Amino acid sequence: MKNITKIDNHFSRMKTEKNYGIDFTYSLIENIKSNKSAIEKRTTSMQGRRSIKKQWQAAWLLKAITLLDLTTLSGDDSPSKVERLCFKAKNPLRQDLVSQFGFERNEINVAAVCVYHSLIGSACKKLLNTNIPVAAVSAGFPAGLSPLETRLKEISLSIRNGAKEIDIVIDRSNIFKGDWRAIYEEVKSFKEICRNIKLKAIIATGDISTFKNIYRASMVCMMAGADFIKTSTGKEATNATLPVSLVMVRAIRDYFDITGYKVGFKAAGGISTSKDSLSYMILIKEELGNDWLNPNLFRIGASSLLSDIERQLEHHITGRYSSFNRHSMC
């Protein structure tokens, strides 16, 4: 089974040059056209055409685990909850399943653990001596409406406390005003602090009314030096969807064609089933190619998703579905 499901045999893991950003270029975001029906038809047909079954599905789901930003962003978060989440991050599959697939105990890990600023220390302590980084939501998450000075200081403190990745949220009011340069300057100021830290810019697509503006916001964040663009905070009424993700990954493709920089994509919010994770992986494979199917360039922000993946993998081994309480997150 290991020869069939060995993750590295299915997807390349290319290292990519860091996105240093470019000067603000209005011509890249003017005269944008979008066809809502065509975008929705593309994502719908993609799901119908691609059907991954049996051992190939197991291989893709094992790969999906390595793309997860295992996340807890609830009002009742506590150090003990984060510590349990970190234990799950280090042991995403039960040991009997790991053995059945022919892997060693620590051979499969999630990509990162994402927490609030105040819980970075608890996460870092539990992830010490692992290769799993701590990601912190910052910059006035989730609204992004705190004073800029406050948001910059919060990012600095998150890095000082041990965060290796920062998920910032942009001030969406600038989108509604059409002030694209303000978004550029905002993200650029965050990038200056995150010189050696992975910066993920949250577009919060559920708050943006048009595909054109989603594309523009994505492009501007990349111009300013974002290492990833991310769909949602998870707090909007509508979070990640395949149509908005298609718009964002095509912005990534266009930016790569123009600059040669590979920017990552993170889908977050409402992704809770194995089928969802496969749909997003297929989207990335078809639109950006295998080079993006690795944790350096693609992430899925979720928590309960891991339980469903583990459940599906157990079904592949045993032929039976188990209850969710046998695959708890904490």
CB 261 within 8 A of CB 17: yes
Active site residue 23: no
Cα atoms in the Cβ-side hemisphere of radius 13 Å centred on 19: 34
Q: Residue 32 has which token pair?
A: 């944008």
Question: Which among 198, 207, 266, 276 is annotated as catalytic?
Answer: 266
Active site residue 164: no
CB 170 within 8 A of CB 183: yes
Tens digits of per-residue pLDDT, 256-285?
999 999 999 999 999 999 999 999 999 999
Q: Any idea where the domains of the chain sit in the sequence? A: 46-318
Burial class of residue 131 (count of CB atoms within 10 Å of its CB; 0-12, 13-18, 19+): exposed
Question: Which among 230, 262, 291, 308 is annotated as catalytic?
Answer: 230
Residues 6+ away with beta carbon under 8 Å from 119: 77, 78, 79, 82
Cα atoms in the Cβ-side hemisphere of radius 13 Å centred on 58: 21
Q: Map tokens 């111009």 to a residue.
A: 223
Q: What is the pLDDT of residue 53?
A: 85
Q: Residue 243 has which token pair?
A: 């149509």
> Which residue ranges of the chain lie beneath pLDDT 50?
1-15
Q: What is the pLDDT of residue 326?
A: 65
Residues 62 and 57: their CA atoms lie apart, in Å, by 9
Q: What topology does CATH give the domain 46-318? A: TIM Barrel (3.20.20)
HEC profile for 181-246?
HHHHHHHHHHHHHCCCCEEEEECCHHHCCCHHHHHHHHHHHHHCCCCEEECCCCCCCCCCCHHHHH
Cis bond before residue 147 (omega within 30° of 0) = no
Tens digits of per-residue pLDDT, 159-179?
999 999 999 999 999 999 999
Task: Count the neighbouring beta carbons within 10 Å of the beta carbon of residue 92.
Answer: 21
Question: Which among 69, 126, 167, 276 is annotated as catalytic?
Answer: 167
Q: What is the pLDDT of residue 13?
A: 35
Cα atoms in the Cβ-side hemisphere of radius 13 Å centred on 120: 22
Q: What is the pLDDT of residue 289?
A: 96
Phi, psi (deg, nearest 5) at residue 229 = -115, 140
Residues 156 and 175: their CA atoms lie apart, in Å, by 25
Q: Residue 141 has which token pair?
A: 């998450």
CB 204 within 8 A of CB 240: no
Q: What is the pLDDT of residue 14?
A: 38
| pTM assigned to the model | 0.92
Active site residue 308: no
Q: What is the pLDDT of residue 320?
A: 81
